[in-house]
Amino acid sequence: MANLLNYNTSQLLGFILVLIRVSGIVSTAPIFGDSNIPTQIKVVISLAFALILQPFVPPIVVSLNNVSHYLLLVAGELLIGLVLGMVGQLLFAAIQFAGELTGLQMGLGMANVMDPQTEQQVSIIAQFEYTIAAMVFLAIDAHHVVIQAMVHSYTFLTPGAIELGKGLVQEIIALSAGIFALGLQLGAPLIVSLFLANVIMGFMARAVPQMNIFVVGFPFSILLGFVLLSIGMPFFVQAVRVLFEMFDDQVVTIIRLMRT
């Protein structure tokens, strides 16, 4: 581990660049960037990772003689960290989107809770699926991919080497658009089943006008939703596992596109 007390000015400025990239990843990556984790803990984690990485990073010669150039390096390092951390967040966003659709179809659209990650109101089903996904994320050691991203990023991206090319922008747009497709795929079994159940209830309401469809329909949709959710949970976990196994490849792709 590096000893900051023995650093000269140039080495200290280089260490700050490493710390900024690591801090960007830690602040936005899944689990690490959770708002439940105190800011002081995130600072300590970022500092520890930066100190460990510093000896393995190619020497960075910087000087304050050109302040504008150093500020550009700082901005580039921060952008690299934020983009790499955001890749994992997009996967969790897809899972929450699936939960939002499922909860809405069950009739729990108004039963919201506070999401500690985004500090916004989300469906209780979305938060439940997010919690399950977080446990799967840790169980398959996907959080190690975040740490590996810090190391591998320096293999292809030395400070100042980032290039915001067309390919990188297209890849980020594709990942963002994939939130909706992945969300629909994850929630499709429950969404389709609940939709068919509502159609059947509609036919029953027309066939038996005396039946109060609102009194019967809402509890039935909620009960059916929870039954299907419990039955399909093993398949949901397996789907999330497959989704997170793509995380490593997506991070590597983003790193390579930043360099080209």
The residue-averaged pLDDT of 121-139 equals 82
User: What pLDDT is recorded for position 160?
Assistant: 66
- Name the percent of the chain in helix, strand, coil, to the closest 5: 75, 5, 20
What pLDDT does 70 receive? 77
Note the pLDDT of residue 31. Answer: 81
| Cα gap 129→96, rounded to integer Å | 7
**Cβ neighbourhood burial of 8 (10 Å; 0-12, 13-18, 19+):** exposed
Query: What are the beta bridge partners of residue 122?
Result: 113
| pTM across the whole model | 0.77
Confidence of residue 121 (pLDDT cuts 50, 70, 90): low
Domain ranges of the chain: 4-259
Q: Is the confidence at residue 234, as pLDDT, over 80?
A: yes
Average pLDDT over residues 4-15: 70
Cα-to-chain-centroid distance, residue 86:
6
pLDDT tens for each residue of 69-119: 778 888 888 888 888 888 888 888 888 888 888 887 777 766 665 555 555
Q: What DSSP element (H or E) covers 252?
A: helix 247-259
pLDDT for 157-183, tens place per residue? 777 666 666 677 787 778 777 778 888
Q: What share of the chain has pLDDT > 90, as a percent?
A: 0
Q: What is the mean pLDDT of the chain?
A: 78
Which of residues 131 and 213 earns the better pLDDT score? 131
